[in-house]
Amino acid sequence: MLQQTRVEAVISYYERFRKQYPDVESLAKADEETLLRLWEGLGYYSRVRNMKKCAQVLMERYNGTLPENKEEMMKLPGIGSYTAGAVSAIAYGLPEAAVDGNVLRVLARLFAIRDDIRDLKLKKELENTITDFYQKNRISDPEYISDLTQALMELGATVCLPSGRPLCEKCPFSSDCKACRESLTDVIPFRSRDRDRRIVDRTLFVIRHEDDFLLHRRPSEGLLAGMYEFIGIDRKLNREEALHHLKDMGIEAKELNALPPSRHVFTHLEWRMEAYEILVEELPEFDRSEYILTDRHQLQSLAVPSAFRTYLNHYGLRKGDKRK
Ligand code: SF4
């Protein structure tokens, strides 16, 4: 949940999630719709799907508990080196490394490493530095390992801040830190530019029949898999073109109103959306496995990605919103 999200923003999600799924067994049995809805707004939906898959494997093979071994943990769905390292070190006190973006920044500055922090080789080297440190100093006290792991994460999150703004005067490493001593904190860590993001222009159709909305269910694989969306195409259409397109779909618009444009940024993709509200008197026969005609009450229980937040808000379709 915390990936690219602040702790304060995640707390309410975490609490709701834990209430719905208090243990591994309940998560393994989770119904997909509810699972996605509880994740709505956090993005990266594959994480929550992997959590469910992971819970299922734990139920089938490990009696509902996590194996107490980093390598074994990394064989589970959705668990990579960082998560396995963090659970091993923090929960089980094992001498394993957990290097996330924050820890990477602290260590890069501490040793004045100028290499690109996006390079996985650097991450691996720093993981080895930590495990070597435990080994050479014969450190095996679980409490010490757990505390040190959390301390490094916390130091990165609250003191060794990014963008050249570290609070070195408050840092316990200040006398040893190379980047601090040599005034290199504004150039370390070095991060190469993000890969270019693909921009996709889209046109959305918010199709309304009386007080109901016609939504489309996205394919079960790929981006936002299995979630509901306002019908759309990956092209910018003016009013005329939009009306033509709707006609091709068998939809006769009684009224077409422009809605505010919006954009949504995914990791490697950006949607730039124009949208129209389409009022219809009749709807053609549609494939019910792909489309759903839903009233506002039912819509609130469907998993609709936050990419469509502008339009959900426009119609007051977020939970607890009483607007018509
Ligand atoms: S001394 Fe400054 S740059 Fe070095 S680790 Fe501490 S906060 Fe980061």
> Each residue of 56-68: pLDDT tens digit?
999 999 999 999 9
Counting ligand 1 atoms within 8 A of each CB, the residue from 158, 167, 177 with the most, and so the one to mutate, is 177
Buried b / exposed e across 176-207, counting CB within 10 Å, b at 16+? Answer: ebebbeeebbeebbeeeeeeeeeeeebbbbbb
Looking at the chain, how many residues does it have? 324
The angle formed by the CA atoms of residues 290, 291 and 295, to the nearest 5 degrees, is 150
Residue 104: CB within 6 Å of ligand 1?
Answer: no
Mean pLDDT across 172-187: 94
Q: Does the pLDDT at position 323 exceed 50? A: no
Q: What is the pTM of this model?
A: 0.69
Counting ligand 1 atoms within 8 A of each CB, the residue from 163, 173, 181 with the most, and so the one to mutate, is 173
Residue 87: CB within 6 Å of ligand 1?
Answer: no
- As a whole number of angstroms, the distance between CA 97 and CA 86 comes to 7
Name the pLDDT band for 43 (thresholds 50, 70, 90).
Answer: confident
- As a whole number of angstroms, the distance between CA 287 and CA 47 comes to 29
Tell me how far the alpha carbon of residue 110 lies from the centroid of ligand 1, in angstroms: 6
Residue 52: CB within 6 Å of ligand 1?
Answer: no
Counting ligand 1 atoms within 8 A of each CB, the residue from 171, 175, 186, 188 with the most, and so the one to mutate, is 171
The amino acid at residue 172 is P
Tell me how far the alpha carbon of residue 13 lies from the centroid of ligand 1, in angstroms: 32
Cα–Cα distances in Å, from 317 out to 165, 192, 306? 40, 40, 12
Name the pLDDT band for 40 (thresholds 50, 70, 90).
Answer: confident
Q: Does the pLDDT at position 320 exceed 60? A: no
Strands 269-280 and 255-265: antiparallel
Contact status, residue 164 vs residue 186, Cβ threshold 8 Å? yes
Cα–Cα distances in Å, from 112 out to 105, 170, 190, 305? 10, 19, 10, 41
> Each residue of 74-105: pLDDT tens digit?
999 999 999 999 999 999 999 999 999 999 99
Which domains occur in the chain, in start order? 7-181 (1.10.340.30), 198-314 (3.90.79.10)
Residue 177: CB within 6 Å of ligand 1?
Answer: yes
